[in-house]
Chains A and B, each alone.
Chain A
């Protein structure tokens, strides 16, 4: 009997170990590597979430795939998903360097500090961080003016709404989110100045239950178009479809999840930029190029764009939006231009002027017509 118990204990230990190894295995399994041969450049990408989240990480992952497809045998790609924004990111980046990586893409905003910690010890490795404002001699940062397509999406929402109440689910009141909410609201108000946007912050980038709570509350409150700034967009997009509420996506095209209620989305397309950055580094021309410091691109560079329109957007609205998009690309129109007032009626943009990218990225207010509190 005693022996039986010991055996059982042993069996349990073994099964737990197997489970642990299985868990650890997910890490190594996602590190794809082609056999090293010849003069290959090794490029490492780290993501904060899953690569198929219909969101932020999927967009970055697609950029990586473009690099892989473009350079083929000339590069070896290292991938690591779900890297937390802690010193664990430093460890992963360091491991990638040990595996020969000379180009690293920490693709989450919160990967900045861990990346800086590693970058100062490896001056010959080039880092390209997504979404930050800080640089180092071997660390550049890139991002896109995503608020421009969000303004255009706001026009589609402005035409679609019947209650004149738009809903927006955000995570935290950071400038990027405030800029998106403001751009979206201004776009909708260009159709009808009475439109308001109600904002709920969930306090989480991707907690499906909190997303559901926020979305249900907005719908119950009378909002008939929901937009979002979350990492994973699937839950809210599907919820909108199920509740017959129009939906505006973010980061990546999720139209297949809401065939009837999809309007459009502000999306990233990193492929061209990633390929270009890697090319510059591989040619030894990164120093002194536009990428060695703060780089910002927009619709003109193809970094941000509108997702395909859903069938809920009438042709004439699509034409109107695309015409304006062309003007924005030409630089004759801007999202934040002429007189804009914040919630308290203070003028934040004067007539005849427009806000610079830096001003937009440091926004700390909601524009008039937004229902929500920042601090």
Chain B
């Protein structure tokens, strides 16, 4: 039973980590008043860029940097279209998602059968020996640890720095930012590109750390799930883990119930991550009103 719980936690974190980066990235972006449905595109570009660089250079650090550049570049197009060209954000984001998937498939063609060393798990001494949770939390790959660290860092950035304050203000009321002599548009550029870069690390985690495989379309909707989980995380990086691990936990539960031979249709179990995510969204939105940044309300009309 204990080993089942450990296994559940380990799987929940591993399945949730890529989504967690997506939530972090999209939270930053949405906080500035921009919705980027192209998160999936940034993630898949991150996955392929990291894989190509990992395979060709062997340097994992370089792989992660290139993943961030690729994901950031796609988000930069979104920022330009939405901010300078006043394009419809939903249309731009969706289109960029498909563009990202297409570019990744094109450049990934040669890498389907290529093997890489990738990022292996690193057990943290002492901590990884804690019963039940040690293995799950402290025997993971470096990108998973980074995702733990990013939680307070991003929260601190958004809520404790001047830059973060103005960034949030751009999402609430850009006129206020103007009044303070700052340009909300450049803050939105920053937030969108940074969001794309962070999301892309999630893609890299999938390809070079978790699965050590490149496969076309391997993000498989995780970026889209991340966008919807931003709402569950109440647009706050400190709650992003809740969103990510609700999804990851549901996915882990599906697999563990199957391995225990529980007599529930596998088709129902496969739906579990999506059903639980929907239920969580339902419950969280019933309880309290929305914390959505004010400027987001103009997007549908925009």
Please determine whether chains A and B interact with each other in the same assembly: yes
A contact set with B: CB distance below 8 Å: 5, 8-9, 12, 16, 19-20, 22-23, 25-26, 49-50, 52-54, 82, 172-173, 198-204, 206-214, 216-218, 220-221, 232, 234-235, 238-239, 257, 371-375
Q: Which residues of B contact A22 (CB under 8 A)?
A: 103, 106
Task: Kindly provide the distance from the CB of B46 to the nearest chain A CB, expressed in whole angstroms.
Answer: 14
List, sorted by A's number, 14 A–B pairs whose CB atoms are closer than 8 Å: A12-B77, A23-B102, A23-B103, A198-B261, A201-B258, A201-B266, A201-B269, A201-B270, A202-B270, A232-B112, A235-B215, A238-B115, A238-B213, A374-B265
Q: Which residues of B contact A217 (CB under 8 A)?
A: 7, 11, 252, 255-256, 259
Task: Kindly provide the distance from the CB of A54 to the nearest chain B CB, expressed in whole angstroms.
Answer: 6
CB <8 Å contact, B85 and A16: no
Residue B262 CB within 8 A of the other chain: yes
Residue B29 CB within 8 A of the other chain: no
Q: Is the contact region of chain B dominated by helix, strand, or loop, or is it mixed?
A: helix
CB <8 Å contact, B212 and A238: yes
CB <8 Å contact, B112 and A50: yes
- If A20-B99, A22-B106, A203-B270 are given as contacts, then 8 extra A-B residue pairs at C-beta distance below 8 Å, sorted by A number, are A16-B99, A20-B102, A23-B106, A25-B106, A198-B261, A201-B266, A232-B215, A373-B262
**Across the A-B interface, how many residue pairs have beta carbons closer than 8 Å?**
136
Contact of B213 among A16, A173, A208 (CB under 8 A): A208
Known: A53-B112, A214-B255, A235-B211. A209 touches B265 (CB 8 A): no
Task: Kindly provide the distance from the CB of A263 to the nearest chain B CB, expressed in whole angstroms.
Answer: 19
Q: Which residues of A contact B218 (CB under 8 A)?
A: 207-209
Task: Kindly provide the distance from the CB of A151 to the nearest chain B CB, expressed in whole angstroms.
Answer: 22
Interface size, chain B (Cβ < 8 Å)? 48
* Alpha-carbon distance between A12 and B80 when the two chains are bound, in angstroms: 9
For the complex of A and B, the 10 pairs showing the least CB-CB separation, nearest first, are A203-B270, A208-B211, A23-B102, A371-B261, A201-B266, A52-B113, A208-B213, A220-B7, A235-B213, A50-B112
Task: Kindly provide the distance from the CB of A298 to the nearest chain B CB, expressed in whole angstroms.
Answer: 28
Task: Kindly provide the distance from the CB of A249 to the nearest chain B CB, expressed in whole angstroms.
Answer: 14
* Alpha-carbon distance between A22 and B15 when the two chains are bound, in angstroms: 32
Flag B248-265 by CB within 8 Å of A: 1 or 0 each: 000110011011111111
Instruction: Give A218's nearest chain B residue, CB to CB.
Output: B259
Residue B180 CB within 8 A of the other chain: no
Residue B109 CB within 8 A of the other chain: yes
CB <8 Å contact, B115 and A257: yes
Q: Which residues of B contact A20 (CB under 8 A)?
A: 99, 102
Q: Which residues of B contact A214 (CB under 8 A)?
A: 255
For window 206-255 of B, CB contacts with A under 8 Å fall at 206, 210-213, 215-216, 218, 220, 222, 251-252, 255
For window 1-52 of B, CB contacts with A under 8 Å fall at 3, 6-7, 10-11, 14-15, 18
Of the candidates B77, B256, B259, the one having the most CB atoms from chain A within 10 angstroms of its own CB is B259
Q: Which residues of A contact B3 (CB under 8 A)?
A: 220
Q: Which residues of B contact A19 (CB under 8 A)?
A: 99, 102-103
CB <8 Å contact, A209 and B259: no
Task: Kindly provide the distance from the CB of B87 to the nearest chain A CB, expressed in whole angstroms.
Answer: 11
Q: Which residues of A contact B265 (CB under 8 A)?
A: 373-375
Known: A23-B106, A208-B206, A373-B264. A9 touches B85 (CB 8 A): yes
CB <8 Å contact, B211 and A212: yes
* Alpha-carbon distance between A266 and B188 when the two chains are bound, in angstroms: 54
* Alpha-carbon distance between A208 and B106 when the two chains are bound, in angstroms: 18
Q: Which residues of B contact A373 (CB under 8 A)?
A: 258, 261-266
Q: Which residues of A contact B206 (CB under 8 A)?
A: 208-209
Known: A12-B80, A208-B215, A220-B3. A213 touches B258 (CB 8 A): no
CB <8 Å contact, B264 and A200: no
* Alpha-carbon distance between A276 and B7 when the two chains are bound, in angstroms: 50
Instruction: Give B218's nearest chain A residue, CB to CB.
Output: A208
